Structure formats: structure tokens, C-alpha cells
Copies of this chain bind each other. A is one copy, B any other.
Amino acid sequence: MDTIGFEAHDHKGCVRDAIAAVEAHCTRHKLQFTPVRRRVLEILLSEHRAMGAYEILDTLRTEGLGSQPPVAYRALDFLVTNGFVHKIERLNAFIACTHPGQDHTPAFLICRQCDAVAEAHAEPSKGMLGRAAADTGFTIEQAVVEAMGLCPQCRESVHPCA
């Protein structure tokens, strides 16, 4: 199973495991997993959905962990840079990674109805894109792949228009 996000799962365990994985990764790479950074990751993990920076900041504020935008953006920048969180460009929002610590290139399935987001695995330099890049001499370093559409649940509930 590679893409979770549209199905029920052991949420408590998933949060715990993710935090543990990030902790281990930070120790190994001498990265500072500070309280704000940890808390931002926890918020994203516990909600399990894409959240805007200001929405995260609201929570931090009530907990006395920072009240100004740079606090949230700096923590998010750290988490994104190190691959623990991904930015969903289409939503200007952030979501916790489902494979923290592992080197991977994510792709996302975003439901336009309920905003649920599932992380899948993308092969960057394979397929059309890789061919086009190779043809033109372009060097791909990173890729944003975000599919919009309807998740299984919302697909059910949409009236058939017929």
C-alpha cells in the first residue's frame, strides 16, 4: 500500500511512528528537532490533511509557541527542506509526509470536493516528462505532481447529473 489518505487507519500509531522516524533522522543528520518544529509536525500529522501556514500558526499561538508568521514559515521551511512535510502548491498548504526520512519524490491526489490529499509515489525522470527533459537538455532536480479530482467517497456522493 503506497497511497493512504482516503482510508481509515491506525492514526495514533501513524503519528507516533512518524515522529519517531523524524527524530531518528534528525539525530543521525545532526539536525535540530526543536519544540516549534516538532509541534508543527505534530499538528500536521494529527490533522492528516493539508493546512495553511496561518492555520498552523493559530494553533501555535494558543500554545504560546509563537504568534508571528515567520515562526510558522521557518518551521515549515525546515520540515519541507528535510522532506518531513510537503507543500501542496495547488492549495498553498502543507501536509505531513507519509514516508518521513525516506528519499522519495511525492505525487498527490487532491479531492476538489473535500480537500482530502493522498500521497503517492512519483517517478520523476520516467515517462513523458523525463523524455521531454532529456530531449531539450533540461536537468530535472525536483518535481511538483498534483492531480485534482474526486476521491472515492466524494465520487459516490456526487449526484449523477442524469
Contact = CB atoms under 8 A, between A and B. Distances in A.
A140 interface: yes
Nearest to A123: B128
A121 interface: yes
Given A112-B141, A146-B143, A147-B124, A152 B129 contact: no
A144 B128 CA distance: 14
A137 B58 CA distance: 34
A90 B143 CA distance: 10
Contacts of A137: 6, 151-152, 155
A132 B121 contact: yes
Q: A-B pairs with the 9 shortest C-beta distances?
A: A120-B132, A137-B152, A89-B89, A141-B149, A144-B146, A140-B149, A140-B147, A143-B147, A139-B149
B136 A143 contact: no
A35 to B, nearest CB: 31
A142 interface: yes
A134 to B, nearest CB: 11
A111 B90 CA distance: 19
B144 A150 contact: no
B118 A128 contact: no
A2 interface: yes
A77 to B, nearest CB: 16
A145 B129 contact: yes
Contact of A138 (B6, B140, B143, B144): B6
